[in-house]
Amino acid sequence: MSIPLFFTAALSAFTYSMVTSAEPVQYCPIKDVCYQVAIPSVSAEANSGNIYLQLRAPASYSWVGFGTGERMADSNIFIMYQDGTGNVTISPRTGTGHIMPRYNAITQVELQDGSGVVDDVMIANVRCGNCGTWPGGSTSLASEAVDYLAAWKTGDAVDNDNPDAMIRYHDAHDQWRFDLTQGTVADDTNPFVGVSQFDNNNRGVSRGSFADPRTLIRGHGIIMAVVMVLLYPIGSSLMPLFGKWLLHASWQFLAFLLMWAGFGLGFVASQRIRLDFNSTHTMLGTVVVCLMVLQPVLGWLHHRNFVKHQSRGLASYAHIWYGRALLIMGVVNGGLGLQLASAPRRFVIVYAVLAGVMFLVYAASSAYGEYRRRLAAGGYERKR
């Protein structure tokens, strides 16, 4: 074998091994809602032909969908919902803006093996024969940065095998980019059967995509839970336990700053998945953190009054009870956040137990502080 021929064969073998080791690219905007794309090598080379898609979501969702495009208008969309017989319907549609996408009958789609409702999970493994172009746009099947968008809706199943069925307005949506070169597979066959791909890991998401919203949501949840369930109650307990206003004020101010950091993460995450103010959690959370701005002012007025009169005044009671009300609202809103995120039951239990324990700690410290205050007041009166 000549040297040039040897290198050519080696290069071909290396290239083939790289292709055969590839797997579909995947993006999961929220937990357990995932979308995958695989491009057979022959389709990538010809920039036309079959591509394979997978849509996966819990059966608690009414529908989920994703497609190609920078915006809803003129995008190429695939929507999955239950058909009412234990299987799923895949509906190719064309985006029309902020109204329900229209059914596109010319898109060549076919459900593949592995599709259906399995263990309360909807799965659509789809072969599309002409998804490189569609009315309103086209895309390269070998591009390193293809714009994708997705939307989803929780609630009652659609239970309809009609691909033109009516669907309700989405709860939230997201956008990202796939590097399709990372999702190139060797064979022009269903790549989703007989492989373990039921995870929430993002693969092949190009550098042009924003931060993973799940990471932002997780960080938001952890920070706000720590602030509302631990830091604020502990800071509130410091004053009656030790009577050191500077310690109390410093602790609460740090918690206040951390609260705004957590709120910032939540705001960015809600913008990423376009949740905005479409939930009680986001609306109540915004109200709580904005109202919390007044609490340091009330604390300063309380301190100034106490230093001058050595007794509580109107500002004192406003500071105490206003803070307690906001704290209760914050803890309740944390529970709503866990519900919105479909958090595992064990997380909800831990959150509730910690909140209950901290309530008892704060109640005990408040009672002790009131006892100390009355003793001090009695001693002051005897001295007079």
Count CB atoms within 10 A of the CB of residue 186: 16
List the structure tokens of 289: 């953190």
DSSP conformation letters of 245-292: HHHHHHHHHHHHHHHHHHHHHHHHHHHHTT-TT-SHHHHHHHHHHHHT
Residue 350, number of CB atoms within 10 A of its CB: 15
Considering the chain, what percentage of its residues have pLDDT values greater than 90? 53
Read off the pLDDT band of 271 (50, 70, 90): confident
CA distance 207 to 145: 8
Name the phi and psi angles at 112, rounded to 5. Answer: -105, 175
Residues 13-26 pLDDT 10s = 444 444 444 689 99
Burial 217-254 (b: 16+ CB within 10 A, else e): bebbbebbbbbbbbbbbbbbbbbbbeeeeeebbebbee
Q: Which two tokens stand for residue 296?
A: 């340091």
Give yes or no for a contact between 164 and 187, defined as CB atoms under 8 angstroms apart: no
pLDDT of residue 96: 75
With a cut of 80, say whether residue 368 has pLDDT above it.
yes
pLDDT, tens only, 56-106: 999 999 999 999 987 777 788 999 999 999 999 999 998 876 678 889 898
C-alpha closest to that of 199 among 21, 28, 346: 28
**pLDDT band (50, 70, 90) for residue 376:** low
Q: pTM higher than 0.85, yes or no?
A: no
Q: Per-residue pLDDT for 380 more than 60?
A: no
pLDDT digits (tens, 9 = 90+) for 337-360: 998 887 888 999 999 999 999 999
pLDDT digits over 160-175, tens only? 999 999 998 888 888 8
Determine the average pLDDT of the residues in 222-236. 95
Rounded to an integer, the average pLDDT of 142-150 is: 90
- For residues 8 and 302, which has the higher predicted lDDT (pLDDT)? 302
In this predicted structure, what is the pLDDT of residue 17? 40
Distance of alpha carbon 292 from its chain centroid, rounded? 25
- Which two structure tokens, joined as six digits, stand for 155? 């609630």
Q: What pLDDT score does 364 carry?
A: 93
Per-residue confidence at 211, pLDDT binned at 50, 70, 90? Answer: low
Average predicted confidence (pLDDT) for the chain: 85
pLDDT digits (tens, 9 = 90+) for 310-325: 778 888 889 999 999 9
SS3 373: helix
Residue 13 has what pLDDT? 42
pLDDT confidence of residue 197: 61
Tokens of residue 214, six digits: 């799940």
Beta partners for residue 137, in sequence order? 134
What type of residue sits at position 360? L
Residue 259 has pLDDT above 80, yes or no: yes
